[in-house]
Amino acid sequence: MATEAKQSSGIWETIKTIVYALLIAGVFRSLFFQPFWIPSGSMKDTLLIGDFLFVNKMSYGYSYASCPSIYIPRFGIDIDAADICGFLDGPNTRFLAGEPERGDVVVFRHPVTGRDFIKRLIGMPGDQVQVRNGLVYINDTPVQLDANGLFEETKAPQGPQRLEPRCENHPVGPGGLCTKSKFIETNPEGRSYSVLNIQNQGSDNTPIYTVPEKHYFFMGDNRDNSSDSRLRQEVGGVGFVPYENLVGRADRVMFSSAGRSMLFFWTWRSDRFFKAIE
């Protein structure tokens, strides 16, 4: 009897330990850092499909968007951050608020779908943003854009969604060398980062967007392969993103998997461990 009671007590202690560990991990994720795995190529070549990073939630303070969303369609699970932390949802404000800077790479909640997006901050509140012939203008002044060679990758399915890259040198057969023109864009504050070009298309010429107060304008670095603020929300784009929808800033890639799963360690890219995000 004493042995059975001791075993039962041991099992219960193990269960409590696991529960406490999960609670601590959940609190840590909600308050400080959120893991994020890059699913698409909209931020190439700054971020590649399969990059794994942590988003710093302390950068901009906290709102309802700071709580995690749980989306597992295979099991019919779709719990939005607002369902968990709706009590923090207010008039586009944040607690312990910090202001983002132009050029930050930011994870945010899509204003309509609530899904996590990651893009680069281009337009600040009050700015007028326009794209003319692929060149970004901020308050009617063009950003500096300098040619920087080619971005090269293999024409093959990438990541768990098996997405194939678009190529400027199209057509390219399976296994062929896919290239895109690469440029260094420098914003008015002097921050520089890499952007890619694939072709001339509609998103290379836009109307003038005036960014509302406490909203932001985002674009992907892979400019011709990004659904972002250049497209209105009602036609599948992002539109202007409210301040309260910001989750946090992405500063560094921890590791990167070129395979279908981040668990396939033999597919990890050796040159992307702890790589700073510019």
Catalytic sites, residue numbers: 42, 119
Element holding 11 (H helix, E strand) = helix 2-31
Element holding 199 (H helix, E strand) = none
Please report the DSSP string for 57-69 in residue order: TTSS-B-GGGSPP
- The residue type of 252 is R
Q: From CA 276, how far away is CA 46, in angstroms rounded?
A: 10
Q: From CA 136, how far away is CA 8, in angstroms rounded?
A: 66
Burial group, residue 32, by CB count within 10 angstroms (0-12, 13-18, 19+): middle
Element holding 133 (H helix, E strand) = none
- The residue type of 2 is A
Nearest to 254 by CA among 59, 105, 51: 51
Asked if residue 224 lies in contact with residue 166, where contact means CB atoms within 8 angstroms, the answer is: yes
C-alpha 119: how far from chain center: 5
Q: What is the DSSP letter of 267?
A: G
Asked if residue 268 lies in contact with residue 256, where contact means CB atoms within 8 angstroms, the answer is: yes
